[in-house]
Amino acid sequence: MIKSICMILSFLGLCINIFAQNISDSLRSSSEKINQIYIETDPTTYFFNGFSLAVRRSATFHKKLNIGLGIYKTTIPDFYIEAEESNKNKGWKAKNLGIDGFFDYYFFNPNKGLSVGLTLSLYNFTIERVGIKTNYYSFIQTLRAGYLWRPFNKFDSVYIFPWIGISTNQKISGNNVIEGETFTTPKVSIVPSLQIGFSF
């Protein structure tokens, strides 16, 4: 009986030790882990009746390269539409829904710090004027530079990723003309963004 109890206690002790080790490993600094999955959002989209969600991961063939996919939806604010001279005082309303592909290279650390990247996006613009709606598709390429910052030492799975990019925009199909007026977006634009995310 005593021998059986000792065996059970030894087994339980072994299980507790393994469990504790797994917890310790899982809480180890995220920046020390080479292979990461990143889940992130751009909180500014929620102020414009939209949302964004992106999932990235460390590339298996290069530890400092991240690749990923994202979805983005927003109502384009009037000040952005009116910034184009040809859109001014025409009563345009617009929304967009896009799919993004991300490729980012980190210079010094595979999970934080300075990076440069390329975003390839396919966006569906839904535009409206004088009660008439139509839509068109654009292909957008963005070269970006960013800095992935982990501000919380005890919770360094949480990160902030501000970046700035330069985008080119080409209409590829659909209709961006309503009642003789053409809805225009900049061919080249500067794009700032702030992503907040969690990696594991």
> pLDDT by residue (tens digit) across 141-185?
999 999 999 999 888 899 999 999 999 999 999 999 999 999 999
As a 3-state breakdown, the chain gives helix, strand, coil percent values, each rounded to 5, of 20, 55, 25
Q: List, for residues 126-145, the tens digit of each pLDDT value.
A: 999 999 999 999 999 999 99
Global pTM value: 0.79
Dist CA 157 CA 111 (whole Å): 10
CB 136 within 8 A of CB 169: no
Query: What pLDDT is recorded for position 127?
Result: 98
Distances (CA, A) of 21 to 5, 14, 17, 148, 168: 24, 11, 6, 28, 49
Query: What would the pLDDT profile of 83-128 be if each residue is shown by its tens digit?
Result: 999 999 999 999 999 999 999 999 998 889 999 999 999 999 999 9
* Residue 192, token pair as written in the block: 């700032």
19-36 pLDDT, tens digit each: 444 434 444 455 556 788
